[in-house]
Structure formats: structure tokens, C-alpha cells
Structure 1
Amino acid sequence: MVASLRLPILSSAMLFVFRRFPSFVWILIACTGCLACDPSGGDEPTTPEPQPEPDANFFNPVYQVGPDPWVFQEGDTYYVTYTTGRNITLIETEKMSGLRTADARARTVWSPPASGMNSSQIWAPEIHRIDGTWYVYYAASDGNNDNHRMWVLANEDADPMSDNWEDRGELELPDDKWAIDGSPVAIDGQWYFAWSGWEGDTNVAQDIYITRMTSPTEVTGERVRVLQPEADWERNGTDPRVVEGPQFIAHDNSLFMFYSAGGCWTDGYSLGALQLAIGDDPLAADSWTRLEQNPLFVSNAAARAYGPGHNSFFTSPDGTENWILYHANAQPGQGCGDERSMRMQLFTWSADGLPVLGEPAALGQALPVPAGE
């Protein structure tokens, strides 16, 4: 840092000296400036000039094209992925508010084969680290939506941004039916897998199922349907009816399963949640109860947030704040395409231990960055 220099006012006599002996005058000015900076001659430290504060705000969207966003937090680093439809792309960052800046690093870590049952329609990937190995769970098909199933990639490197991703094949779910939006979750030390699927072989409705995992790439036992689209806001006048995108967050003595409902092709696409008391059996459908506050997060035309949904969660770098990451459209009627941008905002918990999401924040609204950034 350079201290400010106050130049002395030059009299006419001094100006004459300056013209005749310019070097002498500059030495005099320099000495005068130094005395002004530190009149004690150096015995006391100078007071530093105030520095501008770093940018403490961010603006949504944090990523312009970002359907079905997912974030995994590993130490000080966040790994974000989303639906591209054609590959698995990861974004690495230490600042979630800076996904579109030089603070973030994005690259394609896996591309599908040219043909086969996981060659097309790559949807809703999630990255997890289980027992020291990285896994990506994603939905894919051969180009025919009816053939969507869940698939798994694995990487044993410490850095998931490396090229060492291996295709571990299909995660063979019970009954071998249509499946998307899969997410693993550990409950009381046991891993489970939840997803959105069809009851039969035709698209009448998407329900949410859960089953037990025996390893990160294998499941066992029957599938249990824990949610059907029955509430008015879940049905939303759509055909087929949809509940999808199960996402988990624990708080106090409960586990919450957030889900999206109402059809992503509608502006009525919204978020709700189920609640499970820790200790109850996750494979018993009646252990899961709908929150009376549902829906928790709905379209906000004034904020240019239509169809907010398919969320995930993260905490601020200092661990004191809870944040939701989600997608939404900026205009009505934009549906399920690449117009869905990635957005994030702070949320809180009520005195009763229930999630309080509020309304989607407006595009262009200045929001404080996560604490610790």
C-alpha cells in the first residue's frame, strides 16, 4: 500500500527555485511527504488507508443453464452438477455464489457411449462420496424415454475432477421399472436409495419409491412406495401426475424428504416435503408424513421464478447457514428445457424444527453471500 502524498503549496520564490533546480525541489517534496506520513520520524506505525470491502452480495441466477442442480460438499469445496442431457459435467468451487466466475472450474468428466441403454437422455446426475470412493448416480435411456433406468459411475481418485470415472452399469432396482431422479441416503447407519418411478410399464403417474442398499452399486429387497401425487397441488391438473426429485436433509430428530410435484412442464411445479422421525422404519410407508405446510416453495411471478423445484441443499463455508439450490424459469410457459436457471438462497428452521423456505428470491436482487465466503 502506498501512503497518500500531500504536495506543499509553492510560492513564487519556490517556483523560481524549481525551474532552476528541479532535482533539489523534488527531493524536498519527497522529504516533506515522508514527514507528513510519519511526523515522528518512524517511531510510530502509520495508519493504513481503509480498503474497499470484498463484494458481499451475489445475484441469481448463479448459473444460467442449470436444470436439476445437485451440490455435494467436501470440506471447503463444493461439487455441482446438473442435467445437460448429453454428459456428466462437474463444477468445482469454494464459493457457491461464484459458479459463473473464475473461482469455479467446470469440465465434462464422462460422456456416454454412442449407443446402448445409457447412451441418451442423461438426466439429474448426483455426485456422492461413499467410503472414500466417488459415485455419480444418473438416469439414462437408449433414446426412448420408456427405457429410462438408473445408472452408476465410480471414481476412486481423491479428485473427482479427474478422468478416471468408470461405468459401473445399471443400478438394478426392484421390479425393473422406469426410474429417474435417484438419490442415496444414509439413515441410522444404513444406506437407502430413493427415486421417482412408474408402478407399471406405462406412464400413468410418477411415484416416489425407496429400497435398501447393500453397497453403493447394489440394492436388495422390495421397493416401497412412500409417495403418490394425490394432493391438489401435486396433481396440478397434469397428466401424467408427477412427484419426483427426492432430496434429503436432516434436522433435529427428523429426516425430511423434499420432492418436486406438478409437472416440470407447468408453472405450477413446486416443492413439498415428507417427514420421518429418526428411529422409525424408512421402509414403512406410513413412517413418512406430508408436512401440513405443503407446498413449501411455489412460483413467484414478481421474482421471475416460475416452476421452482428439483432442489438440493448445502451449508455455508463456516457451517452456520442452510442454503437451498434449485432451478426455475424466468418466464411463464418455458417448461422443462434449458431455460431453467440455477438459483440459490438462504433458508431457516421454525421453532418446531420445520423448514422455512419463504419465496423464491427475485432475479437481480442483491443477496448476501454465504457466511464464510
Structure 2
Amino acid sequence: MTFGLTATAQRTFTNPIKPSGPDPWVFQKDGWYYYMNTTGRNLTLWRTRNVADLATAESKVIYTPPAGQPYSKELWAPEIHSFNGKWYIYFAADSLNNLSHRMWVIENSSTDPMQGEWIMKGKIGDKDDHWAIDMSVIEYQGKLYAAWSGWEGPRNGRQDIYLAKLKNPWTIDGDRVKISQPDLPWEMHGDVPQEWQKNGEVPKIYVNEGPEFLQHNNKLFIVYSANACWLDYCLGLLTYTGKGDLLNPKNWIKSQQPVFVQSPENNVWAPGHGGFFRSADGKQDWMIYHANPSATDGCGNKRAPHIQPFTWNADGSPNFGKPIAKKPTPVPSE
């Protein structure tokens, strides 16, 4: 007697899902997952039906900035979003070096972001034109908001998280407000390498950056990265109280401990700067983040995208667990 297979074998993936990809970002729309990461020189867009298949996904360079522009160099942490039937990409860039980083927005009216023309809408920032990186945008209760990492004034060795309302996808409406700064012991591991100090860096840099909105039921969170990419990068959590103005810092509560840290036993180091998505069938919540394969890999292209499912605590907050081991893991459910 012979027996046929009664079920399809479970597909698996192994982290990282792509050999390199700092600052990974995933956006879902119409059955597609659109993915971006820092390339430094252009904006490249990937598209796939399952994020686990990212290594073989269709990709296209959709925007290369003209030389000599204030946004022509060091393009960091791009994010693609969709508002009012149009596509927008937010990215940090400069004309010289990190000290001149600002946020920029491009727009595409095509239904397919891999096609059509991307138009520069301009710089998006606060009225005093402060240094800014890592912007993410959300539509919440009918209004647009942006969160990003910036300096309070002239560079002082500290990056904070700011929030502002938008009047449209490329224009800030009103003042920015600071909702978090590195002020807990685990956020302040800021030693700068000696060779950097020789180039004029301050001896310590305390970091809150990479803010990403996360909604679950009636709760709103901002998950951010703390410490620095050359150190023990980790994730912190801000929780909106659900009452009052989003732009009132008193309405945000910071978790007193990190919510996601490196896992030396699983060879996952300095995890941070990512995002969140759901499985194609809508039944699973997943996170994406970059991490290094060893403790000394720093802020270069060894940072690669990892994905893993996460759950929710009884109080409605996210439970990310710890970075999973680099072994076969079931792909997001389809």
C-alpha cells in the first residue's frame, strides 16, 4: 500500500532574509509587500508577495538624486507610504556629511509605485530647520502625524524623538514637540570610537532614533531604537495614553526597560530600526529589523534584515520576545 501526502510541506526561511539591508522598512498594499532599506546613494524599491522571499524579490532603482543637490548624498532610512491615492517616500539626505542631514519627500501619482514618475516635493522639517533623520508618518483618527529623530539645537551629542502634525504629506503644520530623549541608564551607552573623536565627534552620543508607529486595537505605540548602531542597539517603547492631544508629551509613557535586545546566544547583535507588518492572511503580526552577525560589526552593510512574529501582552502592549535563532522558521502565513 502507498500513501500520498495529505498536506503541503511548510515553507521556511532563515534569518537574515537578505544578506545586507540597514534600516529595513515594509509597507503592505493590495496584496504586495513593498520593501526599502538604506543604500546611501539612491532609493531602491523591492516588491514581493511574502516578505520571507525578499532575497529573490523584484527590485528597481526608482530615484537617484541629481548631483549637487542638498539631498544628493548619504540617503538614509527611506520609507514608502500611501496617502490619498498617491505614493510618498520619506528619506534623510544631505549635501556634504551627516551634519547637514534633513528629511525629504518624493511623490508618485501612479497606482504602481514601481512605475510612473517620482517628483521631489521638497524638504520636510520644523520651522527652525533642525537636523533630522528617520521620519515615519501615520494617519491617525483622520489626521497625519510625523515622528522622527533630531537634535534640540546645535549638535550636543543627543538625539531625541520628535512628533508633529502634518497639513499634507510633505508639510509640517505647527511646531515639533519632543516626546522622548535618552534619559534612562540603558539608553545611555554612548561611547564614540576613538577614531571618530579625531574627526571632531563628541566623546559620547546618546541616541533615540528610528521611531515607528504601531497600532493594535485601540492602542497606539511608537517603537524606537536606543543607544547606537556601533553599540548594543535595542528597542524602546512609547505608549500613547489614549487621552488628550498626541502632541502633548505628557500623553506619552516611556517603558522603563527596553522591549527588544540583542541575543548573543543566537548570534544576533545590535537589533533595531525596523517596522511591522501582518501576514498575508491577516492572522499573524510580524516585525522586521536589522541586526549584525557579531558584536563588532558596527554601522556598515553587515547590518541585514531579520523578521520574526510577535505577540501581545494582556495589557495590549507588544511582546517582541528575543531575536530568534538563525534556523529554519515557518514563513508568514499566506
**TM class by shorter-chain length?**
over 0.9
Aligned counterpart for 1:308 among listed residues 259, 271, 286: 271
1:76 matched to which residue of 2?
A: 31
1:344 matched to which residue of 2?
A: 307
1:255 matched to which residue of 2?
A: 220
1:276 and 2:240 matched:
yes
2:201 matched to which residue of 1?
A: none
1:334 matched to which residue of 2?
A: 297
Mapped contact 1:109–1:163 kept (Cα < 8 A)? no
1:158 matched to which residue of 2?
A: 111
Mapped contact 1:244–1:261 kept (Cα < 8 A)? yes
In our comparison, the structure showing a higher alpha carbon Rg is: 1
Mapped contact 2:268–2:293 kept (Cα < 8 A)? yes
Mapped contact 2:125–2:132 kept (Cα < 8 A)? no
2:120 matched to which residue of 1?
A: 167
1:100 partner SS: helix
Using the TM superposition, give the Cα deviation of residue 144 of structure 1 relative to its aligned residue in structure 2, in angstroms. 1.9
Aligned counterpart for 1:287 among listed residues 223, 226, 251: 251
1:192 matched to which residue of 2?
A: 145
Q: RMSD between aligned alpha carbons? A: 1.6
1:35 matched to which residue of 2?
A: none
**TM-score between both structures, scaled by the size of structure 2:** 0.93
Using the TM superposition, give the Cα deviation of residue 269 of structure 1 relative to its aligned residue in structure 2, in angstroms. 0.6
2:282 matched to which residue of 1?
A: 319
Using the TM superposition, give the Cα deviation of residue 202 of structure 1 relative to its aligned residue in structure 2, in angstroms. 1.6
Mapped contact 1:253–1:277 kept (Cα < 8 A)? no
Q: Which has the higher helix share?
A: 1
Bigger relative CO (Cα 8 Å, ≥ 6 apart)? 2
Q: Give the letter for the 1:188 counterpart.
A: Q
Using the TM superposition, give the Cα deviation of residue 107 of structure 1 relative to its aligned residue in structure 2, in angstroms. 1.1
Mapped contact 1:256–1:273 kept (Cα < 8 A)? yes
Mapped contact 2:10–2:330 kept (Cα < 8 A)? no
Using the TM superposition, give the Cα deviation of residue 156 of structure 1 relative to its aligned residue in structure 2, in angstroms. 0.3
Mapped contact 1:224–1:285 kept (Cα < 8 A)? yes
**1-side partners of 2:32 and 2:179: how far apart?**
33
Note the residue ranges of structure 2 that are not aligned, 5 or more in a row: 192-203
Aligned counterpart for 1:226 among listed residues 175, 179, 199: 179
Pairs within 5 Å for 1:1-373:
49-50=4-5, 53-101=8-56, 104-238=57-191, 239-266=204-231, 268-292=232-256, 294-363=257-326, 365-372=327-334
**2-side partners of 1:333 and 1:242: how far apart?**
18
Deviations 1:256-295 (A, max 9, x none): 10000001111x1100110003343110001000124x20
Using the TM superposition, give the Cα deviation of residue 333 of structure 1 relative to its aligned residue in structure 2, in angstroms. 1.2
Q: Which moved more, 1:277-286 or 1:249-258?
A: 277-286
Mapped contact 2:94–2:101 kept (Cα < 8 A)? yes
Q: CA separation of 1:95/1:86 partners in 2, compared to 1, >3 Å: closer, same or farther?
A: same
Using the TM superposition, give the Cα deviation of residue 251 of structure 1 relative to its aligned residue in structure 2, in angstroms. 1.4
Deviations 1:85-113 (A, max 9, x none): 11101110001111112xx2011100111
**TM-score between both structures, scaled by the size of structure 1:** 0.83
Using the TM superposition, give the Cα deviation of residue 143 of structure 1 relative to its aligned residue in structure 2, in angstroms. 2.2
**2-side partners of 1:337 and 1:370: how far apart?**
28
Using the TM superposition, give the Cα deviation of residue 172 of structure 1 relative to its aligned residue in structure 2, in angstroms. 3.3
